[in-house]
Chain A
Amino acid sequence: MRNFGFSTTKSRTIDYGDIDRRLISYILENEPTFNACLSCGSCTAICSAGNLTSFNIRKLSLQIRLGDLEKTHEEIDKCMLCGKCLLECPRGINTRNVVMLIKKGLTIFEIKDKA
């Protein structure tokens, strides 16, 4: 490619026509309750890991829905599987199973974090 002497930045726009749905489809197929998330944040507020680290299960779920899987591995490893989020969820989502499915899905689809 010709060098014009300047670089461009990748667009930050979410393109709903071009989303990596592998992981989210796998989770929804195996845990359909995950469809019902309201993003209320009860899970994050009660989360022990979230109070100590940057772990935010609600935000991570949103990123997975948008196919943004660059740091999923690193983030999901912060979860201690205590299941308090599961007790709290007003929509009855089995959040702990969602975490397990994220872990499984990352392995199945060989998704690696971006260095």
Chain B
Amino acid sequence: MIDVLIIGGGIAGIETACSLQDLGYETIIVEKEKTIGGHLNDWDTLFPTHRSASEVLAHYTDETRKRALTIYLNTYVISVKKQDDGTFEVHTSRDVVFRSKAVVVASGYKLFNAERKEEYGYKIYDNVLTSADLEVKLKDLKGEFKTPTDKVPERIAFIHCVGSRDEKSGNHYCSKLCCVTAVKQAIHLKQLCPKAEIFCCYMDLRMYGPGFEEMYREAQEKYHIQFIRGRLSEVGENSNGTLQLKVEDTLAARPCKIQVDMLVLMVGMESAKSTELFAQSCGLKCAPNRFIQPLDHHIGSNLTNVEGLFTAGTSIGPMSVFDTVNHAKATAFAIRDYFINTAR
């Protein structure tokens, strides 16, 4: 029997495994994709420093190798069953059944599917992208930045809160990272296309973290990004491929039209479907936002209603890279406490 089975080989899972190894415990990681690192693989740069995501990823790849962590790739969890003796039996897409003393749910999140907001025209109009699409585009960028219809953009708009704080898409909660990501991406595009006019349409700007507010100010002062307080209602396409946005400039109290060459939808974070499925299999409680409900928001955010089952990272809600890393480290300590208290 292994000490801890970790579901998910993103940064939360790997960080938890590293910290647990430092504390002297044996772990295995089960990852559904063919590679570790999760969403970090798809990111170009990270806020608030514009640091390359691959640099952080490389750190975790190195750690994995140096520490010889056991990772099962291409393996997804079907069910987690708690045994009478308090240990766990984990069934996966592989034939073997894993047994462990504790389980960590580090299964992450999925991005909101922007096609669900049909009025925003994603996958209908060529020049509508999601924030994730833009990261991939920037990561693979060779030469000049151009819109999907091959134009050097003169006007670009970012739409905040797509699939977040929106009852109509079933997500009432704030994804909290999209605000700062929009600011980061707006700055990046302005650097690539200095002549472009860039707009951010927001409801509220939530610059909650260290360096975020500074970045927002830089976007205004240095890069002249224009922030419009209004939520997008609908998008139409003109015959020349440009997009027509309908927004109310709420501060001017007038409806306004904005014509842009490219639209970026800041998609929010949702609980992964697989998380919900195996949460059901072991009686794990989910919050109304469908992420896993922590046992105690303040002093036990790594614990769940099932003893011996822990969480790390975005399985409990939207989290930045640095919050995820800290949360994962704390999970290792919570598990140590559990092992000591239950003499396992």
Binding site for B on A (CB under 8 A): 38-47, 50-51, 56, 58-59, 87-92
Contacts and interface: CB of A to CB of B under 8 A. Distances in A.
Given A45-B246, A45-B247, A90-B168, A40 B255 contact: no
Interface in B231-248: 231-234, 246-248
A45 B254 CA distance: 8
Contact of A89 (B119, B168, B255): B168
Given A45-B232, A50-B255, A90-B166, 4 more contacts: A39-B250, A41-B231, A42-B231, A90-B168
A110 B290 CA distance: 47
A88 B167 CA distance: 10
Nearest to B168: A90
Contacts of B233: 42, 45-46, 88
15 contacts: A38-B165, A38-B203, A40-B203, A40-B230, A40-B231, A41-B249, A42-B233, A42-B248, A43-B248, A45-B231, A45-B256, A46-B234, A46-B246, A90-B161, A91-B167
Interface residues of B, number: 23
B253 interface: yes
Most B CB atoms within 10 A — which of A40, A87, A92?
A40
A63 B253 CA distance: 12
B112 to A, nearest CB: 13
B253 A59 contact: yes
B255 A44 contact: yes
Interface string B163-189: 001111000000000000000000000
Given A45-B247, A90-B161, A56 B254 contact: yes
Contacts of A45: 230-234, 246-248, 255-256
A16 B292 CA distance: 41
